[in-house]
Amino acid sequence: QQQVKQSPQSLIVQKGGISIINCAYENTAFDYFPWYQQFPGKGPALLIAIRPDVSEKKEGRFTISFNKSAKQFSLHIMDSQPGDSATYFCAASPISSGTYKYIFGTGTRLKVLA
Amino acid sequence: DVKVTQSSRYLVKRTGEKVFLECVQDMDHENMFWYRQDPGLGLRLIYFSYDVKMKEKGDIPEGYSVSREKKERFSLILESASTNQTSMYLCASSSPGGASYEQYFGPGTRLTVT
């Protein structure tokens, strides 16, 4: 019940295309869903996050879609660029319980071809 | 600018050695976390701390211990290093409450145990 399942493991997209990464969870206590981006040799950095009171959040070319009933959320990268090539991790946390630890997905390695 | 620093980027130790990984944050954050990152397994929580001298086990605490004597410093200890502890170790910090539950990550320490 603590798992967050992430797919696909790797993704290759042409420049200008849409990249889509999916995550699913079981624990209904999760109420904070961030996405982290990690470049080689660097630590992960927050990209965008959503709470379950909204179904979508957009920041520039990055959008999170959230489906509470299906317990799924996804990251969409519009107009993908070679600079977006990185590893992406979804995560979930039961913030309202006072627990601030994350459960991370297994990661998606994105490569955007020029 | 937010900063989490880790004492070493690369470390090579022998089996059975006692290993200390140090993490320092300059953001006055209450929460600090230690993760290990392995290909295909994502980030897995080893230990975390919500306050000085306080610690809680994460999902994979076996073979590790931690110390938090000062708010800004969180140390991960491998009492007797083993080859299966060869991994990338990431430290993170966060401050609870407010609008953001973001975890800020250090650059990581790649530990090799031979």
Mean pLDDT of A62-73: 96
DSSP string of B16-73, one letter each residue: T--EEEEEEESS--SEEEEEEEETTTEEEEEEEESSTT--EE-S--TTEEEEEEETTE
CB atoms under 10 Å from CB of B4, counted, come to 23
Mean pLDDT per 10-residue segment, chain B (114 residues): 89 97 94 95 95 92 96 96 98 80 95 98
Residue % of chain A over a pLDDT of 70: 99
Which residue from B43, B45, B102 is facing A46, i.e. has the nearest CB?
B102
The tokens for A62 are 């990055």
Strand partners for A108: A88
Amino acid B101: pLDDT:
86
Amino acid A55: pLDDT:
94
With an 8 Å Cβ cutoff, are B102 and A49 in contact? yes
* Residue A28: exposure state from Cβ atoms within 10 A (0-12, 13-18, ≥19): exposed
Amino acid B95: pLDDT:
86
Answer yes or no: are the C-beta atoms of A112 and A21 closer than 8 Å: no
Res A6 pLDDT > 80: yes
Chain A neighbors of B29, CB-CB under 8 A: none
Q: Residue A51 belongs to a domain with what CATH number? A: 2.60.40.10
- Chain A residues within 8 angstroms (CB to CB) of chain B: 2, 6, 9, 32, 34, 36, 41-46, 49, 89, 93, 95, 98, 100-107
Amino acid B99: pLDDT:
62
φ/ψ (deg, to 5) at A104: -95, 150
Mean pLDDT of A71-75: 97
Question: Band of the pLDDT at A21, cuts 50, 70, 90?
Answer: very high
φ/ψ (deg, to 5) at A98: 85, 5
Question: Band of the pLDDT at A83, cuts 50, 70, 90?
Answer: very high
Answer yes or no: are the C-beta atoms of B113 and B81 closer than 8 Å: yes
DSSP state of B79: S
Which of A50-54, A60-64, A95-99, B17-21 is predicted least confidently? A95-99
Amino acid B98: pLDDT:
60
Amino acid A100: pLDDT:
85
Chain B neighbors of A44, CB-CB under 8 A: 43, 90, 105
Hey, of A93, A100, A106, which one would you mutate to test binding to chain B, going by the most B CBs within 10 A of its CB?
Answer: A100
- Tell me the per-residue pLDDT of A89-109, one tens digit each, with 9 for 90 and over: 999 999 888 878 999 999 999
Hey, is A103 helix, strand or coil? Answer: strand
Q: What is the mean pLDDT of chain A?
A: 95
Domain count of the fold of chain A? 1
Would you kindly state where each structural domain of chain B is located, as residue ranges?
Answer: 4-97
The HSE-up count of residue A41 (CA atoms within 13 Å, CB side) is 0
Chain B neighbors of A104, CB-CB under 8 A: 35, 42-44
The tokens for A98 are 């006072």
Amino acid B13: pLDDT:
97
CATH annotation of B4-97: 2.60.40.10
Domain encompassing residue A65: 4-113
Amino acid A56: pLDDT:
96
